[in-house]
Structure 1
Amino acid sequence: MDYKNHFDFMKNRNKFFIASIAILIIGLIVLVAMNLNYGVDFKAGTSLDINVGQAVTKEKVDQTFEGAGVKPAITTISGNNDHISARFDTILSEDELKKVSTAMTTAFGDKVSQEVNTVSPDIAKELGYKAMLAVAIASVAICIYVSIRFEWRFAVAAIIAILHDAFIVIAVFAIFRLEVNLPFLAAVLTTIGYSINDKIVIFDRVRENLRFSRIKSSEDLSNMLNASIWQTMARNINTVITVLIAAVCLFIFGSESIKLFALAKIVGLTSGAYSSVCIATPLWYLLKNKSLGSKTRAAAVKE
């Protein structure tokens, strides 16, 4: 099939690069100025999950906490409006926890049950360190795998693209001040996994096409890459849509505790599908084209 009349991804690569760089710069500025909105998992504090056994309003819940003498940083009501999630930026003492329990029981009856999760400053720092370590190890392992299976140019392009995807998710959460917690970290790591899968599919087709193509110029290389992208487009779209449907359903129908995980997945999957075609492949094109130019100059010198 002739793919010359299809959209030329290589020709428009600079537009994709500029769009991605713009988003990343905005996210970086927000990160430097305001940092991420860390949840209780990554900073010291207390979280309370309270089941009151009846439908409640946020106004009534806020009044109850005020009566107990404490004020949560974030309060959400989920389920059948009978489940309260409260996040505190400080570690509540045993006396404060008893006051909250007493106030809830007084306001909503004896069916109230309360679960307490507390993160100390040391644990918060350790979790933050291990989160960065997990992303770094995953990235290095992927780089080694792609280098062994393909070549170093594929590995460089893939690692830049998956780090782009991870940072896009981080940038979105930073810009919109969404809470960053352990489920968010899980979403970033799974985003890296799905992202590299998309790239491997395209790179595998590129490697196959290289065997049967006579690449003598930049135009030949560009045409081969565009053909490879369009040959795998249907498979990539079907794969991404399948997972996106599950992530969207989790976001719409899931509980409050899983909504941000689902949102991070949606952003990551979308970014991964985009970067596979518009970032990773053009990056490989630039690296390979440079090598192609070097070989052409070397041949000219010999002649």
Structure 2
Amino acid sequence: MKIAITGGTGFLGRTLVRLLQETGHEPVILTRNPENSNRDVQQVGYLHRDSRPESELGTVDAIVNLAGTSINDGRWTEERKAAILESRIRTTSEVLRIIRALPEKPKVLVNASAVGVYPYSEKAVFTEDSPQGDGFLPGVVREWEWKAQAAEDVGVRTAFMRFGILLGRGGGALPLISLPYRLFAGGTVGSGRQWVSWIHVEDAARAILFALESDSISGPVNTVAPGALRMKDFGKEVGRALGRPHWMPAPAFALKAALGEKSEIVLKGQHVVPKRLEQAGFRFKFPDARSALEEIYQA
């Protein structure tokens, strides 16, 4: 398949591009700066006033939309929160414009999303059919998915990959999580009872490819490993993989003071399960945190 990708130079995007090349597909990266990009993959400019990517793409079989301002960088000021939402809506709107402008429509749109759509809970287990939460992150996810769903109006199958915390080398949340352990200061964050729903970046890329190739997959898809852990246990696995102790707690009040509203990401959580992926026959390469962290730190 020929697959156009936004966010193709990001942490997950780079892994996906490599996987597509290894499996005989043809990735094309939609980028704001094609002149500064890796020439091993075709680059097409977009999101500029004079950009017309639909005239350069030709026929594409699928589009993967991964672009959006990171929720992990900086405090959640009102300006930052506006940028997080606007970046996702703007990119998705442009993807929809490209789809409508293409003479031959792609068969599928795989759009990034997030488990942040679910409410925080220490007891509930969330599938794709579970109720959604209230607040900033659930609101962002709802608007993002609603915008992307418009692709179905022109006959394009659409899947929303609700990613958990991405684990891997060179990006994602793991470098920040592991830093205290590398300094021999790792320990329980907050109560330690909050859930961590995560996925190895390689499995995340494999899940995207699985969704691209599986005609039966559409709508929300929880893209998390089946082995969610409570924060205390997850931290112990990080310490074990690094050969570091798990002993110095990080109290909730300190994180709230340092991170503000964004502290919810680490002080609260959701136990999310990949019901639709598993029902469709997807097999995880790294189903548990121990195997994922050992591969990351010992490779």
**TM-score by shorter chain over 0.5:** no
Structure that is richer in strand per residue: 2
Q: Which structure's CA Rg is the greater one?
A: 1
Normalising by the smaller structure, the TM-score range is under 0.3
